[in-house]
Each structure stands twice: as C-alpha cells, then as structure tokens.
Structure 1
Amino acid sequence: MKPNIFDLATKELSQDAFLTWLLSYADPANAAYDSKLNQCAQQLVNELISTHVNNFDGIITTVRAGRQWNNVDVWVEVNNTYFIIIEDKTTTGQHSNQLTRYKEIATDWCLQNNYTSPVCVYIKTGNESLHSLRHVKEAGFSIYNRKHLVKLLNSHPEITNDIFTDFKQRLLRLEAENNQFLTKVLGDWGGVDWQGFFQYIEREMSIVAWNYVNNPAGGFWCAVLNWDYWNDLYPVYVQLEEGKLCFKISTDPEEPVEMPPNVSRGQIRNELHAMLMQKAKDNDVKNIRKPDRFGSGNYMTVAIVDKHNWLGSKDSIINPAEVINTLTLYRSFLKKAIQ
C-alpha cells in the first residue's frame, strides 16, 4: 500500500490542520496556486454555511481560516459576514458542555464584529450514535460527517495534490471498513464491525443508543435496544454486549431508582428472572436462558440469549434482515412481559 501521511498522523490535530489548509484555499486569491483545490474548498465553505443559512448566494470573496481560537478547533471568516466554528472529531465525542460554550463565545464575537449569527458545525470522521449526535444538534451545531466529506472529496477527481489524495484515501478506507461487517465472518468481527453493525440496526429499528463500555475486563461495544419500566419503577432493557444479548435491569439511584425498604437487589433480580423465564415458556419464545452467574450491582443481567441464537455462528456471515427480525422479537417480548 502506498504510504499515507494520515495513517501516521491520525490525531484530531492532524485533521484540524487538513481542514484549515483546505478551507484556506477557498479564498479567491489562492486560486492562483491551485484552481482545482480552490473550487473544492469553495464548495466545502458553501456546504458548511448552507447548514445554517438558507439564502446564502454561494459567492465567496474573502476567506480566512485558522485553528485554536478560544479552544475552538477550526474557525473560518467568510466575506467579512459569516463566521464558521468547527468542532472537529475523529473517534471521540463532545464533552463538558463544550459545544454550548463555543457557540456562546462565537455569538458574542459576531455581535461585536457585526457578523451574522455563527455557523456552528460538528465534523465527525469516526462513528457516533444517533443518540449522541442528537445532543450535538441540541447545542446548535449542524453535523457534517464522514459520508459528507467522502462525497465532497470524491466529487473532485481532478485534484492530484498529495495531501488531498492521502486524506481522501484514508477516509475511503475508513468508510469501507465500516461496512465490512456485512461480508466478514462473525468470528472475525472487531470493534469497527460492531460499530458498523450498531449503526445499521439504529437505522433499521430505532434503538436507544450504542457506545463503548470500558471496564477492567477489557471493555466491549454495546447497544441498548429499549428502555422501559417494570412495576413503574425499575428500568429494564435489552442490551447487546457484542455477541451476547442480555435482558437487564437497573437499580441505579442515578436513574433515579428508589429501592423499596427491606428488599435487596438480588431479590428483585431473581423475581424478574423467574418471571421472564416463565413468560418465555408460556409464549414459546426460545433460546432465553439463565446467565452463567448472577451479579448484584446497579445494572444486572437477568437472562441472556447466546450469540449463535440471535446473530449467527462464528463461521457464518450475518443475515441482516433475519437479525433485525430476531432483535425485534426479543425486544417486543420484554416489553409485553413487563406490562
């Protein structure tokens, strides 16, 4: 494989630099250096502004771009009228209310400098759940993801600049890897495959969220399919822990859950387990079994379905439609069982 600088420079700062470099080419004066990059960069500026401004005429007269302004990753001034702030992410997500703070700072700057309201954009080249991205939108940021970037860069095949093509090729490879779960045997799945799979199911059946759980055992990718209440008190849900499908209950005070007096977590767990097993038997819902061991923490698994019974055997390739039907069945079973 041809050496690619972005396979070595994988940090967000490297991506910040690429975006700032490309956006700088949108200034008409820089067309003299590379008219093709100028056209691509102007298209990118247009697309970013259009996420917030419906009547932008697309005419670009001046562009200034830079990095690290008040902790904002990338900033762009366009036509002395529009101020774009970009929160740029690879694999991490937003944190510490940062997007709200950045928008407030940018809004104050725009008022002081007679600019329109800031154009706030969240650029994400890694994967992130729709649940997480909803919080981004609520903070006033539009989302420009890897698919948007791939489409933009692919629309300019005439560009031969090495920096540009290296970045594009890396994005294309990331996008291809994200979809390999459809053709890879289940025993070879890794983190990227679970991310691609969880993105697929959240589009097909609308789940609560998916994310990575870091724990002393090494961590795992998980997806929560529903969030319902048993006895109007305890959250119960189906959670995919990579290959294991778990029926779980929360007794976490932060949910919040108030434990009844003189009742232990173990008693609650055992009661739900017994009820689910009986309901599964009564309704001929197959392959639900007792966990190998019961826990007694805030979040407890009360029953499981083994990987080969809902996803497939390790030497098989996923049947997406069949898996969605199976997941829908188990989720519906839980909802009806706790009514």
Structure 2
Amino acid sequence: MSTKLSSNNLFAYATSELSQDAFICWLMSHLLEENVDKNHTLTACARDLLGCFGCHLEPNEYLLRVDKQVYNIDVLLTAPGTYVIVEDKTFTNAHDNQINRYREHIQKQIDSGVLSPGKILCVYYKIVDQAVLEKSADVNLFRSDILAVLRPAHKCVNNPIFTDYIDYLEFIEARTQAYMELPLDRWDAYAYQGFFMEIQKDPKRFNLSSPVSGWGYVPNQSGGFWGLWWEIDLTNEDFEHAGLTFDKIDNVYLQIENNLLTVKLSVIESKHDMKVARDIRWGIYNYLHEHIGKDFYKGTFRPGTYMTVGAMEYDSISDCKEKIKLLESTIHNMFSEVHF
C-alpha cells in the first residue's frame, strides 16, 4: 500500500460525500435487473456489499430502485421487502439524530401507503475511522470492512471508477497505518487515528489503567489537535483520601494531544468554586513537577471546564508508553500521599 495517491485518481478530486454517494449508487446499480449481465464481477461485488448491509437477495432477485438524496437520505436502496438506508460519511460523523429521522420517515411513507410494506435497514458507511460505533444504525461499515468486500474484485475488474475508488481507500488505509513506520514528527491526522485505534484496541499494552474514554479531533482557538483521553483507575476512596471530593472538582484524567501527554482537570464552572479548583490545579502541578522533574511542565493556566495541569512531550510510541506509565504511577502516589 502506498501513502501516495495518483494525481489522476478521480477520488483525489471527488472527495465529497456526494461523490461517494454516486459511487455507492453506481456500484449498486449493477443489481438492477437491466444491468446484472453487463459486468458479472461488479454485480457479484455489489451483491456481496449489499449482503454486508444486511440485505441478501435470492439468486433470481434484483434491486428494484437505487436512489440518491431522496427524502434527504444519502442512498436509498429498494429491494424486495426491504429498504436499505445508507448514511454515507467521509470525514464527518452522524449528527442531529439523522439515521433515526430517516428511519421514521420511511416508516411513515410505508404506513401512509406511499411505499410498499417492508423492513427497514439502516447502514452507517464511513471511510475514515472513529472512536465509537453509530448506535442508531443496524450496521456499521468502515473502511476495512469495505475493502474486504472490494479487494477480491480489484484484479478482475478493468473499470477506472472501481479501481480509483479502491486505490483511494487503500491510500487512506496506508496513511492510517503509517504511524508504525514514520517518525512522530511526520504523523498526519490519519497516522494519529491509526495510533489511537491501536491504543483503544489494547489499552493495557500502552500502560493505560482504564479503557479509552474517547478520541478524535478537538478544535480550539490555537488550531486544534488530535486527542485521546482516559480516566485514571482511581476509586472514590482515593479521591476522598486526597481531599479531591466532587464538590471541589469533577475529575482528573489523562489526555494525549498530538505529541503531548497532558494531565487534565474537569471542573464545571457553574458548579464549583473556581478559586478552590485553581488551588488544586497548582497543588497537583507542583507535586508532579517535583516528582517527575522538568520534563513535566505547565503552560498558561486558564480557567475552563477542561483545564490542563501540565504536559510531557513524547517522541515515539515506546516513549509514549513509558511516560504514560510514569504519569499514572506518579498520580497514584500523589493520591496516597497528599491531601488537598
């Protein structure tokens, strides 16, 4: 797999979700009765992908309709007795309860007699990764799942649209896996996604004491960063022993921000005395700086719901693992030794 994409690849330019809608519709159109004999490999590939959507056609069955942007639905596939709603995403996430709204709308069309009776399947189709599944969908299909279906047909199909789409997904896949080979200063957004997915898959291997709470792009006034965050494995008794009761702060947690490991406080300003929270922040910083040394440093202390206590830089995956271990153990010691 190459981390470079040909300059004449169609999808180097057709990067919008509408372009991907068109590809899905084009591929699925090979399951319309008038098209099934035009390219048997593409028809078989479309059938396999439709099966991944949860819709399985009998050998003598065909799709009845392939629609794009109908009822605001990205792709609507009509099969005998089944409606398949495909919510197609490239680089964004689902929002505003989209999938449930589309499901309810199709059900209303069925109930009112506009559409024939049938079951409804909702598919979340996305070519870049995210931290959590889309719970409102019946099926989540991500890049690795899509490639698993399309790759077997790649060598057999001499069609530039099909080939360009697979090459485009392989390009994203290669960049996502590049974190394993590239030095940290050459990581891009895809590499961080790959790294974060690896941590999420096996947090203990990276010395996290708890599962990953979430990861993704975090916008801010400084330009934003790719972040991953998790709670430290501490009990209510640990917090009480350290005097960090929930009437003072909400939580202490760790976060990766690009090439930084940060210690964070969450404090709801309307709920807490911010002077108390500020003093706790200084107390935690002083302890960690004293016990870790100059590698643990602070930036400008600003008030807010999510406040950075201090940070450490890491320069490789192994360095990140070691510094996570150091931060976690030092924070555990702090909770047993200090009362704020």
Cα distance in 1, alignment partners of residues 294 and 215 from structure 2 = 24
Cα distance in 2, alignment partners of residues 335 and 16 from structure 1 = 50
Cα distance in 2, alignment partners of residues 69 and 273 from structure 1 = 55
Q: Which runs of 4+ in 1 moved over 6 A?
A: none
Question: What does residue 198 of structure 1 align with?
Answer: 196
8 Å CA contact 1:83, 1:115 repeated in 2: no
Q: TM-score, normalised by structure 1?
A: 0.82
8 Å CA contact 1:238, 1:246 repeated in 2: yes
Structure 1 residue runs without a partner (length 5+): 51-55, 313-317
How far is 1:268 from its partner?
A: 2.8
Specify which of 143, 163, 174 is matched with residue 140 of structure 2.
143
Question: What does residue 83 of structure 2 align with?
Answer: 83
Question: What does residue 305 of structure 1 align with?
Answer: 312
Q: Is residue 231 of structure 2 the alignment partner of residue 226 of structure 1?
A: yes
Q: What SS does structure 1 have at the residue aligned with 2:275?
A: coil
Specify which of 279, 294, 297 is matched with residue 301 of structure 2.
294
What does residue range 44-55 of structure 1 map to in structure 2 within 5 Å? 44-49=49-54
Cα distance in 2, alignment partners of residues 199 and 168 from structure 1 = 22
8 Å CA contact 2:296, 2:312 repeated in 1: yes
Distance 1:72 1:18, change over 3 A: same
8 Å CA contact 1:246, 1:304 repeated in 2: yes
Question: What does residue 275 of structure 2 align with?
Answer: 263
Distance 1:108 1:271, change over 3 A: same
How far is 1:336 from its partner?
A: 6.2
Q: TM-score, normalised by structure 2?
A: 0.82
Deviations 1:187-235 (A, max 9, x none): 2122222121111111111311111122222221111122677423422
> More displaced, 98-107 or 8-17?
98-107
Q: What SS does structure 1 have at the residue aligned with 2:202?
A: helix
Specify which of 163, 171, 174 is matched with residue 172 of structure 2.
174
Specify which of 20, 23, 28 is matched with residue 28 of structure 2.
23
Deviations 1:224-250 (A, max 9, x none): 122677423422110111111110101
> More displaced, 140-149 or 164-173?
140-149
Distance 1:140 1:32, change over 3 A: closer
8 Å CA contact 2:172, 2:190 repeated in 1: no
Cα distance in 2, alignment partners of residues 203 and 87 from structure 1 = 25
Structure 2 residue runs without a partner (length 5+): 1-5, 204-210
Aligned residues: 309
Cα distance in 2, alignment partners of residues 145 and 226 from structure 1 = 27
How far is 1:286 from its partner?
A: 6.9
Question: What does residue 255 of structure 2 align with?
Answer: 239
Question: What does residue 38 of structure 2 align with?
Answer: 33
Q: What SS does structure 1 have at the residue aligned with 2:53?
A: helix
Cα distance in 2, alignment partners of residues 264 and 176 from structure 1 = 48
Distance 1:84 1:269, change over 3 A: same
Deviations 1:67-110 (A, max 9, x none): 1122110010112x010001000000011222221222233334
Distance 1:115 1:333, change over 3 A: farther
8 Å CA contact 2:314, 2:320 repeated in 1: no
Deviations 1:283-328 (A, max 9, x none): xx677623143233332211222224xxx3xxxxx44xx7446435
Q: What SS does structure 2 have at the residue aligned with 1:225?
A: strand
Question: What does residue 207 of structure 2 align with?
Answer: none
Which amino acid is the alignment partner of residue 303 of structure 2? S
8 Å CA contact 1:287, 1:305 repeated in 2: no
8 Å CA contact 1:123, 1:145 repeated in 2: yes
Q: Is residue 14 of structure 2 the alignment partner of residue 9 of structure 1?
A: yes
8 Å CA contact 2:45, 2:150 repeated in 1: yes
Identity of aligned residues (%): 28
CA RMSD of aligned residues (A): 2.5
Question: What does residue 100 of structure 2 align with?
Answer: 100
8 Å CA contact 2:260, 2:312 repeated in 1: yes
Distance 1:240 1:109, change over 3 A: same
How far is 1:57 from its partner?
A: 6.7
8 Å CA contact 1:28, 1:60 repeated in 2: no
Question: What does residue 53 of structure 1 align with?
Answer: none
Which amino acid is the alignment partner of residue 28 of structure 2? L
Cα distance in 1, alignment partners of residues 54 and 116 from structure 2 = 17
8 Å CA contact 2:299, 2:310 repeated in 1: no
8 Å CA contact 1:85, 1:106 repeated in 2: no
